[in-house]
Amino acid sequence: MHHLLAEASAVLFDLDGVLTPTARVHECAWARMFTEVFAELGVTPPFTDADYFEHLDGKPRYQAVAALLSDRGVELPWGSPQDAPDQHTVCGIGNRKNALFLAVLTEEGVDPYPGSVALLDELQRAGVPVAVVSSSRNALAVLTAAGLLSRFAVIVDGTYAIEHGLAGKPAPDTYLAAAKLLGAAPERAVVVEDAISGVAAGRAGSVGLVVGVDRGAGRAALTAAGADLVVADLGELVGAE
């Protein structure tokens, strides 16, 4: 494998888009949910794929709901995170999306990227510690569905961040917490990310190497955000010197 990975104190992986193609599951859940909600509220025009990329992709759930409603000129109360999924509040609608995400995940499952699994295998053989660092509060469900849960002793997800008062990406806090939990020196750790905010988080944490995985953000944008190396698939790092 790439010599900088072989010598790393730890490799810290983002989840959605790096280990698993979970964006498709999110996209499917958002589309189902907003199609239902727009019909219930009589909102036009109907939901489209463009809405997903323009207003929803990569944003925290409630902020994403608020952004799309605002685009359609719809004003609803914010509500609270305890709202039921059938309530017409921003939080209720966000909770409905999450329930649908978990339903789609259970129905259809999710296969991890083969190149990512090959790299995990190689790191395991080399004895390099690994962690998952994800903004998602569904990380455990996704890792379980993908059959990857047993590979990670350390998982710093959205729930962990909230419980420990850690700032989310692009702040480096979650990556630094994962390195600490593994007993790894941050300056020798590697961060693997597909999102601009995640690459920026690795860079801000002064880790030894930030690897960008280009799943659509673009090589130039990932490099500009601070990626030292950009690949189209993690399989490129397997067996490579």
Q: What pLDDT shows up at residue 189?
A: 97
Q: Note the pLDDT tens digit of each residue in 94-112.
A: 999 999 999 999 898 899 9
Condensed to tens digits (0 to 9), the pLDDT of residues 69-99 reads: 999 999 999 999 999 999 999 999 999 999 9
How many domains in the chain?
2
Residue 166: pLDDT over 70: yes
Same domain, residue pair 123 and 218:
yes
Give the CATH number, domain containing residue 63: 1.10.150
Amino acid making up residue 169: K
Enumerate the H helices of the chain as residue ranges: 3-6, 23-41, 49-51, 61-71, 90-108, 114-126, 139-145, 158-163, 173-182, 196-204, 219-225
Q: Find the domain containing 208 and state its range.
A: 3-21+110-237
Given a cut of 70, whether residue 118 has pLDDT beyond it is yes
The count of other CB atoms within 10 Å of the CB of residue 193 is 29
Strand order in the sheet with 209-213: 154-156, 130-133, 10-13, 189-193, 209-213, 229-231
Any idea which of 1-5, 28-32, 178-182, 194-198 has the lowest mean pLDDT?
A: 1-5
Q: Is the dihedral of CA 30, 36, 37, 38 positive or negative?
A: positive
**Domain end marker among 108, 127, 162:** 108
pTM of the entire predicted model:
0.85
Could you tell me if 131 and 95 lie in one domain? no
193-218 residue pLDDT tens: 998 889 999 999 999 999 999 998 89
Q: 16 catalytic, yes or no?
A: yes
Mean per-residue pLDDT, 159-180? 94
Q: Is 114 helix (H, G, I), strand (E, B) or coil?
A: helix
Same domain, yes or no: 216 and 139: yes
71 is annotated as an active-site residue: no
Instruction: Quote the pLDDT of residue 241.
Output: 61
Residues 44 and 104 in one domain: yes
Do 86 and 42 fall into the same domain?
yes
